Structure 1
Amino acid sequence: MTLRLARTSAEAYLYMELHPCERCGESDFEPVSAVVSVQGDLASRYTGACPSCGNEREFMFRIPERPLLVDPENPQFGADRPSELLDPGEWLWVADTIASGVPANPDGLSAEQRRDARVDLRGAAAAVGEVLKFIPPDADAVPFEAFDSDRGREVYQTEPGRFRRARLEAVAQTYRELAERFAT
């Protein structure tokens, strides 16, 4: 069994959130994690019961040789290589979902709410950055072959132009700039 690489724990948790319980569809899952050895590789093992139906769930991912230390104020999901867990359409869906939950204006927000919005927008920018990692150096867009999930293909087919390098770079930059509007 070849395990897929989870470049960070944030990426592993995001993957688990996007893969709900097979029995009842519940996406909430609070697993117990452990580091285990699988065929000579270190892996993270996440286990626990679905809070809705009790179905036992398990996820296992390879751990990178060099763990990426992530600043909680500046979310990152992985280093330079593309994700093995989420495809580019899923990453763009994640960015859209995160950004849509942020208030349009920082006025009237508490310091904590502003911080949360800033971190969320930085997370959305990081998710768009993950999409960019799927673009080959000599290309200007994500190739269709990179999409291997139903959700990812659906996002792509809805608007393929969103996966062009220039557009993705502009969106990521916009999210970063918006994040700074929420600085306290």
Structure 2
Amino acid sequence: MVLPVSRTNMEAHLYMDLHPCTCGEFRFARKNAVIALEDGDLASRYTGECARCGQPREFVFRLPTEISMPLGGDAVSYGGDEPSQLIDPGQWLGVADAYASQVPGDFARLDGEERRRARAVLNRATAAVDEVLKFIPGDADEVPAATFTSERGRQAYAKEPGRFRRSRLAVVRDAYAGMAGQLA
């Protein structure tokens, strides 16, 4: 079996957050180690026990040939220019929705720390929409149906395929980025 590449630690952690234990629990204390694969490549192995049932958990991701450096500041990036091998476009849009739903509509009543948290969440939502856009080929107007590889992703696409058009995704992305800018 060929291990998928995790482009960044942030992407690996998000993937693990999207895949609960068989008991339904998402949380587990993660220990990380870099390991050598039989083919000579390197991988990142995350291990730990489920916080609820104690069942061992393990995730192994191939490391990319070129390591992405963190952007610094408030900027968020889950990976380079290529689409994710771990998380499909429907899952990415679900992540963006979940992050954006954490932000109150009225920024005026937020104190300094609440504004900082809201900006960070909106930056993550923006980066998640950027990830969806990476699945659209340069000459296409929408995410190809074949790129939805998870059950959750296929359900999101089947429910509302119009959400995966380039023009609509760009509007959503710009709205999240604009709101984050208002909180700076």
TM (norm. structure 1) is 0.96
Counterparts of 1:45 and 1:4, CA distance in 2: 12
1:125 maps to 126
Name the amino acid aligned to 1:33. N
2:8 partner letter: T
Runs of 5+ unmatched residues, structure 1: none
Moved more, 65-74 or 111-120: 65-74
Shift of 1:173: 0.6
Alpha-carbon distance in 1 for matches of 2:3, 2:96: 25
Structure 2 counterpart SS, 1:107 = helix
Deviation at 1:72, TM superposition (A): 5.2
Hey, what's the Cα distance between the residues in 1 that align with 2:141 and 2:172? 15
- Are positions 1:182 and 2:171 aligned together? no
Residue in 1 that maps onto 2:156: 155
Aligned to 2:33: 34
Aligned to 2:12: 12
Deviating 4+ runs (over 3 angstroms): none
Task: Kindly report the root-mean-square deviation, in angstroms, between the aligned alpha carbons of the 2 structures.
Answer: 1.0
> How many percent identity over aligned positions?
53
SS in 1 for 2:108: coil
The Cα of 1:109 is off from its aligned counterpart by 1.9
Amino acid at match of 2:13: Y
Query: Aligned AA for 1:32?
Result: K
How many angstroms does 1:147 deviate by?
0.3
- 2-structure distance, mates of 1:137, 1:81: 12
Matched ranges for 1:41-80 at <5 A: 41-70=41-70, 71=72, 73-80=74-81
Describe the SS at the equivalent of 1:15: helix
**Contact 1:17–1:29 (CA<8 Å) still a contact in 2?**
no
**2:171 & 2:28 partners in 1: Cα distance?**
34
For normalisation by structure 2, the TM-score amounts to 0.96
Give, as a single letter, the amino acid of the residue that structure 1 aligns with 2:153: G
The match for 1:105 is: 106
8 Å contact kept, 1:75–1:123: yes
Bigger mean CA offset, 59-68 vs 85-94: 59-68
- Equivalent position amino acid for 1:10 in 2: M
- Matching residue's letter, 1:7: R
Deviations 1:96-150 (A, max 9, x none): 0000011112223221211111111111011001001101111100010000101
1:19-43 CA distances to partner (integer Å, 9 max, x unpaired)?
Answer: 0002x11011221001111121111
**For residues 145 and 91 of structure 2, what CA distance do their matches in structure 1 show?**
13
CA–CA separation in structure 2 for the residues paired with 1:147 and 1:77:
18
Aligned to 1:25: 24
Kept in 2, the 8 Å contact 1:6–1:12? The answer is yes
**What residue is the counterpart of 1:89 in the other structure?**
90
